[in-house]
Structure 1
């Protein structure tokens, strides 16, 4: 239903743009848009004005229809519904760790080599000035 309404809406938009573009300019900015042409008859201006008003009304109706369909066809979700029910909060884990797809960071691969030793704490410099902490 929503796809059909979108297609109708787009056809109305294209027709509205076309009707607005073929209308005679009334502003006369920079001296353009004046003079005679096939749009100089008063009856044509009334027909184009009426067509523009009808297309604008249809545009408004289809826009409201699309908004209403988007509102009522959506399925609201809650992130808390994705958390497994059997987990407990008191064991130092947080909500982000309990989400699906969250895993502990993997240790870097060593390609069969022995793991590197952690560096020892640096020895204090005997000539350093004490800072008190």
Structure 2
């Protein structure tokens, strides 16, 4: 199910990019042009079929984004990456934590083992 929603999400993203690029430019970047400062519509042009289609794609894109977020949150509920990395399989099939030793401090310079293996 997650893969299907992901594929639909990617198709919606590409379609949304395409419809935005196909729309006619209003000119005057960042809304600085157009309109006479008044009028019944407040300077906004009437919505076209292309702009309505863009809104529909945007709403569908947001819905699939929310759905993918909910699915991902449901899949990872109660688990952590640290929990999964710390598990070491045992002989009886269970999982045990790895042996961290007595100290959690990094090794000192007077320890026997070198920090970087030699190239010999």
Alpha-carbon offset, residue 2 of structure 1: 1.2
- 2:73 matched to 1:71? yes
Aligned length: 86
- 2:62 matched to 1:60? yes
Q: Distance in 2 between matches of 1:25 and 1:16?
A: 16
| Alpha-carbon displacement from aligned partner over 1:79-130 (angstroms, at most 9, x marks no partner) | 4963847x7x9xx71358xxxxxxx948x89xxxxxxxxxxxxxxxxxxxxx
Q: 2:103 aligns with which of 69, 73, 94?
A: 94
Q: What does residue range 95-114 of structure 1 map to in structure 2 within 5 Å?
A: 105=113
| Alpha-carbon displacement from aligned partner over 1:5-28 (angstroms, at most 9, x marks no partner) | 110000001111111001000024
Alpha-carbon offset, residue 74 of structure 1: 1.7
Q: Distance in 2 between matches of 1:8 and 1:61?
A: 11
Q: Distance in 1 between matches of 2:13 and 2:71?
A: 19
Partner of 1:82: 87
What is the TM-score of this pair, normalised by structure 2?
Answer: 0.54
Unaligned stretches of 5+ in structure 2? 30-44, 89-95, 106-111
Q: Distance in 1 between matches of 2:17 and 2:113?
A: 55
**Superposed CA RMSD:** 3.7
- CA radius of gyration, larger in: 1
